Chains A and B, each alone.
Chain A
């Protein structure tokens, strides 16, 4: 349950990078999440799109890590978006009101079209 998530970072276009999240997101995921953020920043992304399609588990510590990433992105004037959230995780985003700061899309195509 506390395993670090497998995160892939790929450049989607000139200004957008996609972070593919796989497995669990908890407080223990901070190093992996921040490493992925740094990689996206190296790609000079102005938009970061989080792909949650393969998310298997997230606790409240994981939500806190997403807030930390959001703050870092805002500081660099980067936009944060997400797709691939199941109904369950979309409701958690709404409950915690993270959806007011991270735009949620249904799929990758609409997320990249932004």
Chain B
């Protein structure tokens, strides 16, 4: 039996982690994925901007078990998002190694098509990690735990903006939009769990104030720009198609 192994020969967390991947793949037959397939994952170490730890949470009574909260969240993840944003994950719920596609309105009529990778999932938490080109480099962990007589349901992001343009956007209202997004999501989740109304709390900590200028070149992977270019490229051939003339 080697180091780090339990009596069964595998660590207790073995089934909860995704298998290592070098680049993301999108299963055939799923539409979209223009900024996902072939992309590498990016953690908070790889991003450009300041590193933030953002936590959003609500508390409710012990009638809601952590396992119920997380099972509901994993199964219906995208349904709690604001209506203008779409999340396309596996119908059965999120599990380790799954890739989900997302299409998010980032403001000014601009959309971001990208994806996330399920890095970790167990009965009380799951974590999504972002690919190159996503607005953020890092991961966000959704968890629930009993705290005394209460159950705390939480989303916690550890992220940097992925490139200088995203960093600029975060300073120009991006942080506020991000807060609104997750507060909306958690309020919807609480409603689905039957514990609404709840107060959603927020705490933001700047973990690292330094920008990583060595990663500024990641702007070439920027998925907002690539989504716009993709939209333009698909619109031009449609516009060139001859319209049916009068009969």
Contact = CB atoms under 8 A, between A and B. Distances in A.
Interface of A: 1-2, 27, 52-61, 64, 67-68, 70-71, 74-75, 84-89, 91-92, 94-98, 100-101
Nearest to B117: A95
Contact of B43 (A71, A89, A98): A98
B125 A59 contact: yes
Interface residues of B, number: 39
A97 B141 CA distance: 17
B38 to A, nearest CB: 16
Given A52-B4, A56-B4, 6 more contacts: A56-B12, A58-B11, A67-B207, A84-B3, A88-B11, A95-B119
Contacts, number: 97
B235 to A, nearest CB: 36
B3 A86 contact: yes
Given A88-B14, A95-B20, A100-B45, A56 B125 contact: no
Interface of B: 2-6, 10-14, 16-21, 40-46, 51, 53, 119-120, 122, 125, 127, 129, 139, 141, 143, 145, 156, 158, 207-208
A71 B141 contact: no
Contact of B16 (A59, A68, A71): A59
A55 B12 CA distance: 11
A57 B11 contact: yes
30 contacts: A2-B145, A56-B11, A57-B11, A57-B13, A58-B11, A58-B13, A59-B13, A59-B120, A60-B120, A60-B139, A64-B141, A67-B44, A67-B158, A71-B51, A84-B3, A85-B4, A86-B2, A86-B4, A86-B5, A88-B14, A89-B4, A89-B11, A91-B20, A92-B17, A92-B20, A95-B17, A95-B18, A95-B21, A96-B139, A97-B41
